[in-house]
Amino acid sequence: MLSAGDLLDNRYRLDDRIATGGMGDVWRGTDVVLGRTVAVKVLRTAMLEDPEFATRFYGEARMMATFRHPGVVEVYDYASDGDFGGQEKVAYLVMAFVEGEPLSSRVKEGPIPVTETLSIVAQAADALHAAHQAGIVHRDIKPGNLIVKPTGAVILIDFGVARSAALTSVTGLNAIVGTALYMAPEQVAKGDLTPATDVYALGAVAYHCIAGRPPFDGENALQVALRHLEDEPPPLPDHVPVEVRHLIAKAMAKQPSDRFQSAAEFAEAAFAAAGPMDWKRLTGTAMVAPLSPAAPTRAVPRPRNFPPQAPVGPPPVPYTAARSSQPLAQRGLMFAILALFAIAGTLGVVFLLNPTGDKQPTTSPTQQNEQVVEEFPTEASEEAEPSTEVTSRRPVKRSRSASASPSPSLSSASPEPSETTPATTEPTTPATTTPATTTPATQPTTTAPTETEEPEPPVATTTTAGAGGGTAP
């Protein structure tokens, strides 16, 4: 028999027994190595005689040691066959010591206000959801396993050992009667234990807090447990809001599928029903709601698969903007063509340059005017200002020949059609009648070399359009 002052494994000293249950005793102890206060739960010897239970308890203790949540007690250590100076076989679990009051002590004093009850339920459900996400089902939710800190924060304790306690309660051990008061129907029927089992038990705890009594009572644990299978709990007091009644009724539905689909859904419903509260005062943190710590594990609807979308980029350019950009592109192309023709014309001038100066400078304006006479008949007669008229008509095509009869100046340029051919960029079909008329159409740039002798003709030559000779538009 353990007593105060015993030292487990030369490390954990038992100071005060703070609780006694069907599975063992809970002690406030001291870790003499680290110098901190701990809670030590020592299992009864009878429990250790069942190898299956001992193995399950050890495995779930290991699982809880890796689980962290602000609303769940932290597990520090586990040991069996500890040496405490006696011959009795022992196994124990070392946990964080939580300063606070068990909810079981609060409910003994009478009903708890609805708002405070909803706060307790919301926090406990939030912690349960985190445990469920980790694959852990508590299986023994009851007021004695909920510690309310002075700030109002709620801590869940006794994870991993509840299943055996529940099964034992049905057999009639008086020490486990407390578990039967909040046992889910499927738990009584030895069915599958799922997260919905914890939701039912927490709903029964909420009922007890508000009504001031458990939902069912009886002469023994078995009778109480069977009532969870067959009976409906009495109505809650009249002052309880309708939404709170519905919330508890849904949590305590006989069929697991009719309850909240997750502890997170239960927590959200309790939080919404509680309304505005001073969560900072209750939890001792700056959180606006108790659900914040478990937000990453809160139930979220499964995202739907949408067809892939085009990557996000700049907005499409309006059609009007695209149209307005076309002239700019055309102008750029036109300038490039002009530059090429200018270079070709310059090369042609150098190639055709004659040191004797036989070419007549007066033939170029006349010839150019005759080339554009078909496109602009009204301007062909204005030979006095060829540069002005031709400059304004750059887009005129150069492949077409004038229909008018050649002038004397044009005939003087006809004897040299072969020399102008290298400077042209477009093929020309020779005429069948008069060579003089076809030669200007092929390339009237033979007079271009003479324009270098006078200041005015070069200007007209570089600005004229449609006559060829490297000055194309």
Residue ranges of the domains in the chain?
A: 1-97, 99-298, 328-463
SS3 content of the chain, % helix, strand, coil (to 5): 45, 10, 45
Q: How far apart are CA 24 and CA 1, in angstroms?
A: 11
Let me know if 140 is a catalytic residue.
Answer: yes
**7-52 pLDDT, tens per residue?**
998 999 999 999 887 778 899 999 999 999 999 998 887 777 777 7
Q: Which two tokens stand for residue 262?
A: 């997750």
Interaxial angle between packed helices 263-274 and 242-251, expressed in degrees from 0 to 180 and rounded to the nearest 10: 170
215 Cβ contact partners less than 8 Å away, ≥ 6 residues apart: 181, 204, 207, 208, 233, 234, 252
Q: Which two tokens stand for residue 450?
A: 């003479």
Containing 162, the helix (H) or strand (E) segment is helix 162-171
CATH code that applies to domain 99-298: 1.10.510.10
**pLDDT at residue 192, rounded to an integer:** 83
Q: What are phi and psi of 238, to 5 degrees?
A: -65, -25
Nearest by Cα to 417 from 384, 396, 441, 386: 441
Contact 143, 202 (CB under 8 A): no
Q: How far apart are CA 281 and CA 262, in angstroms?
A: 27
> Which amino acid is located at 462 in the chain?
T
Containing 369, the helix (H) or strand (E) segment is helix 363-371
Containing 94, the helix (H) or strand (E) segment is strand 91-96
**pLDDT at residue 351, rounded to an integer:** 57
**pLDDT at residue 215, rounded to an integer:** 96
pTM here? 0.57
Query: What are the residue ranges in the chain where pLDDT is below 70?
Result: 81-88, 160-178, 276-338, 341, 344-473
**pLDDT at residue 332, rounded to an integer:** 62
Q: How many residues does the chain have?
A: 473
Contact 168, 183 (CB under 8 A): no
> Of 126, 140, 158, 198, which residue is the catalytic one?
140
**pLDDT at residue 334, rounded to an integer:** 64
257 Cβ contact partners less than 8 Å away, ≥ 6 residues apart: 196
**pLDDT at residue 86, rounded to an integer:** 55
Q: How far apart are CA 139 and CA 113, in angstroms?
A: 26
Report helix, strand or coil for 93: strand
CATH code that applies to domain 1-97: 3.30.200.20
**296-324 pLDDT, tens per residue?**
334 434 434 434 444 444 444 443 444 44
Q: How far apart are CA 10 and CA 33, in angstroms?
A: 9
